[in-house]
Amino acid sequence: EAGVAQSPRYKIIEKRQSVAFWCNPISGHATLYWYQQILGQGPKLLIQFQNNGVVDDSQLPKDRFSAERLKGVDSTLKIQPAKLEDSAVYLCASTLTRTDTQYFGPGTRLTVL
């Protein structure tokens, strides 16, 4: 079974630029999560999708971050414009509905200069 795929693995941009991350969850997983993991901290949930609907985006900085999951499968997370404090690893995870085991992708390490 293929795992959660993410791309790119690494991205370096300058502040005020835009960036997008892509996630492909495990086949059949209806729930998809985006986390932000700042160095030295645990992951923080940014947004949770159930199929193509948003379940929780309370911690998503909506003035600069956006995410979509149009067909209920792949998802993209965008930052526009990026700030220095956005430097972090962005993790995508997926689960079958109503199970607790979250399967994580390898993450995208973003560096904002």
Partner 1 sequence: AQTVTQSQPEMSVQEAETVTLSCTYDTSESDYYLFWYKQPPSRQMILVIRQEAYKQQNATENRFSVNFQKAAKSFSLKISDSQLGDAAMYFCAYRRSMNRDDKIIFGKGTRLHILP
Say whether residue 88 binds partner 1 (CB under 8 A). no
Q: Please give the full DSSP string across 4-43, using - where no structure is assigned.
A: -EEE-SEEEE-TT--EEEEEE--TT--EEEEEEE-TTS--
Q: Is the peptide bond before 8 cis (omega within 30 degrees of 0)?
A: yes
Task: Compute the distance between CA of residue 24 and CA of residue 17 in angstroms, rounded to an integer.
Answer: 24
Stretch that binds partner 1, among 18-26, 62-70, 79-87, 97-105 (CB under 8 A): 97-105
Say whether residue 39 binds partner 1 (CB under 8 A). no
Say whether residue 94 binds partner 1 (CB under 8 A). no
Task: Compute the distance between CA of residue 45 and CA of residue 58 in angstroms, rounded to an integer.
Answer: 9
Selected from 24, 48, 75, 94, the binder of partner 1 by CB under 8 A is 48
Query: Smallest gap, in angstroms, from Cβ of residue 86 to partner 1?
Result: 17
Site residues (CB under 8 A) for partner 1? 3, 31, 40-45, 48, 50, 55-56, 89, 91, 93, 97-102, 104-107, 109
